A and B are shown apart, each in its own frame.
Chain A
Amino acid sequence: MAGRGGLLFPLAAIAIMALGWLALGLAVGNSYYQLMMTLVPIWAVLGLSWNLLSGYTGLVSFGHASFFGLGAYTVTILLVRLDLTPWFGIPLGMLVGVAAGLVIGYPTFRLRGHYFALAMLAYPLALLYVFEWLGYQEVPLPMKREAPAWYMQFNDYHVYMALAVGLLVVALLISLAVERSRFGRSLLAIKQNEPAAEAAGIDTLKWKMRAITLSGAVAAAAGGLYAVVLLVVTPDSVFGVLTSAQALVVTLFGGTGTLWGPVIGAVILIPLSETLQAELGDVIPGIQGVVYGLAIILVILLAPEGIYWRVRDWLHLARGTPGAAFRSRAPAAPALVPVPAERQTSGQVLLEVRGLSKSFGGLRALDGIAFQVEEGAILGIIGPNGAGKTTLFNLLNGFLKPNGGDVVFAGQTLVGLKPNRICRLGVGRTFQVVRAFQRMSVLENVVVGAYVRAAAEDEAFEIAREAVARVGLSPRLEALAGALSNKELRLMELARALAGRPRLLLMDEPLAGLAAAEVEEMLAAVRALPSSGTTVVIIEHTMRAMMRLAERFVVLNHGRVIAVGRPSEVTADAGVVEAYLGSKWTALHARG
Chain B
Amino acid sequence: MLAVEGLTVAYGGLKALSQVSLAVAEGQFVTIVGPNGAGKTTLFKAISGTVPTEAGRIRYEERDLLAMPAAARAHLGIAHVPEGRQVFASLTVLENLEMGAYPAAGRRQWARNLERVMALFPVLAERRGQLAGTLSGGEQQMLAIGRGLASAPRLLMLDEPSMGLAPAVADLIFERIGELHREDRLTILLVEQRVAEAVQSCDFGYVLETGRVVLAGSSEALLKDDRIRTVYLGM
Contacts and interface: CB of A to CB of B under 8 A. Distances in A.
A386 B95 CA distance: 28
B71 interface: no
Interface residues of B, number: 30
Contacts of B167: 583
A386 B137 CA distance: 12
A418 interface: no
A571 B14 contact: no
A585 B16 CA distance: 27
Contacts of A583: 167, 196
Contact of B194 (A568, A582, A589): A582
A589 B193 contact: no
B196 A513 contact: no
Contacts of B223: 588
B37 A581 contact: no
B169 to A, nearest CB: 12
Interface stretch (B55-63, B181-189, B225-233): B225-233
A543 B233 CA distance: 6
Interface of B is mostly: mixed
B164 A386 contact: yes
A482 interface: no
A543 B34 CA distance: 11
Nearest to B36: A541
B171 to A, nearest CB: 9
Contacts of B198: 582
B93 to A, nearest CB: 18
Interface in A372-418: 384-386
B36 A384 contact: yes
Most buried by B among A486, A509, A547, A582: A582
A385 B234 contact: no
A583 B230 CA distance: 17
A567 interface: yes
Interface of A is mostly: helix
Contact of B15 (A513, A547, A587): A513
Interface string B155-190: 000001001100100000000000000000000000
B54 interface: no
Contacts of A584: 194, 196-197, 200
A88 to B, nearest CB: 55
Q: How large is the interface on A (under 10, 10 to 19, 20 to 34, 35 or more residues)?
A: 20 to 34
Interface in A500-550: 509, 512-515, 541-547
Interface in B190-232: 193-198, 200, 210, 223, 226, 228-232
B14 A577 contact: no
Contacts of A547: 233-235
A385 B196 contact: no
B221 to A, nearest CB: 13
Contact of A571 (B35, B196, B233): B233
Interface string B19-30: 000000000000
Contacts of A514: 14
Contacts of A513: 11, 14-16, 37
Interface of B: 11, 13-16, 35-37, 160, 163-164, 167, 193-198, 200, 210, 223, 226, 228-235
27 contacts: A384-B36, A384-B193, A385-B163, A486-B13, A513-B16, A515-B15, A542-B35, A543-B35, A544-B234, A547-B234, A547-B235, A558-B164, A567-B235, A577-B229, A577-B233, A580-B193, A581-B195, A581-B228, A581-B229, A582-B193, A584-B194, A584-B200, A585-B196, A585-B229, A588-B196, A588-B223, A589-B226
Interface of A: 384-386, 485-486, 509, 512-515, 541-547, 558, 567-568, 571, 576-577, 580-585, 587-589
Given A486-B14, A581-B194, 10 more contacts: A384-B36, A513-B37, A543-B235, A547-B234, A547-B235, A571-B233, A571-B235, A580-B35, A580-B195, A584-B194
Give the top 6 A-B pairs by smallest Cβ distance, nearest first. Answer: A513-B14, A543-B234, A584-B196, A582-B194, A585-B196, A547-B234
